Amino acid sequence: MAYDCKVFDKNGNLKRIARSSEKFLRVTKNFLNQKSTKQALSYIKTMKDPKIVTGSKARFHDKECIVCKMVFHPRHKHTKYCSYECQHKFYREKKQIRKKIRSINSGK
pLDDT, tens digit, 9 for 90 and up, residues 23-38: 555 566 666 666 777 7
Round to whole Å and give the CA distance between 81 and 97.
Answer: 19
For the chain, how big is the Rg over CA atoms in Å?
Answer: 32
Structural domains of the chain, count:
2
CB atoms within 10 A of CB 60: 11
Question: Does residue 90 sit within a domain?
Answer: yes
Question: Does residue 19 sit within a domain?
Answer: yes
Question: Does residue 21 sit within a domain?
Answer: yes
- 39 shares a domain with 10: yes
Round to whole Å and give the CA distance between 81 and 88.
Answer: 9
Burial class (CB in 10 A: 0-12, 13-18, 19+), 20: exposed
Question: Does residue 91 sit within a domain?
Answer: yes
What SS3 state is found at 72?
strand
pLDDT at 50: 67
**Which residue type does 14 have?**
L
pLDDT, tens digit, 9 for 90 and up, residues 58-94: 667 789 999 999 999 888 888 999 999 999 999 999 9
- 40 shares a domain with 73: no
Supply the DSSP symbol for 78: T
Question: Does residue 94 sit within a domain?
Answer: yes
Round to whole Å and give the CA distance between 20 and 44.
Answer: 18
For residue 81, give its domain range: 63-107
